[in-house]
Amino acid sequence: MYKKRITFFSLVLTVLFAGNSCKKENSNPKSAYAGKYVLISKTDFDTSTGASETYTSTVSPCLSDNQTTLKDDGTWTGGYVGAEDCYVSRTPNSVTIIGAKGDAAAGQWVMSGSNRIKFTVSGNNASYGQLSNVGGKVQLTFKDTSQNFISTSVLVKQ
């Protein structure tokens, strides 16, 4: 009889934990994170040379013209809203632009765990942003890795 109680109790706990784990991967976005975010910094790290460059909205104010809006209905829109391209670096042989006039994208977003957001663009293309609270402001950080580069972008909720 004692074994049956433990088995029944274990079964109840398993069902409760399974229900709670499903709630963590909620397809309904949390409205606390809905709103407008602006780009405040971008860091590019070249893994082949070890060179790193960081651009900030303090030095290049046009960075904050890169904006993303998370809507309560689970959709997002983003793009560059500046009147001219955002040049953050110019050398005799190259130009670095972070934000080109007219750039735009849209898609869906859902919470994925307690501090991650999954962004979906064009059906199956997905990327993840990490949420944090820095100095009382919500920050959204993206880390993008390609063959020789690691690019980190930080956006702040307005």
Q: Which residues pair with 41 in a beta bridge?
A: 56, 154
Q: Which residues pair with 55 in a beta bridge?
A: 42
Domain-embedded: residue 6: no
The pLDDT, as a whole number, for residue 5 is: 32
Rounded Cα distance, 153 and 132, in Å: 13
Q: Which residues pair with 90 in a beta bridge?
A: 95
The answer, yes or no, to whether residue 36 has pLDDT greater than 80, is yes
Domain-embedded: residue 22: no
| 74-109: pLDDT as tens digits | 999 999 999 999 999 877 778 889 999 999 999 999
What CATH number is attached to the domain comprising 153? 2.40.128
Domain-embedded: residue 48: yes
Domain-embedded: residue 23: no
| 54-69: pLDDT as tens digits | 999 999 999 999 999 9
The pLDDT, as a whole number, for residue 155 is: 97
11-25, 57-71, 106-120: segment of lowest average pLDDT: 11-25
pTM here?
A: 0.76
Domain-embedded: residue 7: no
Q: Are 55 and 88 in contact (CB under 8 A)?
A: yes
Looking at the structure of the chain, the number of domains it has is 1
- Tell me which residue range forms the domain holding 144: 33-157
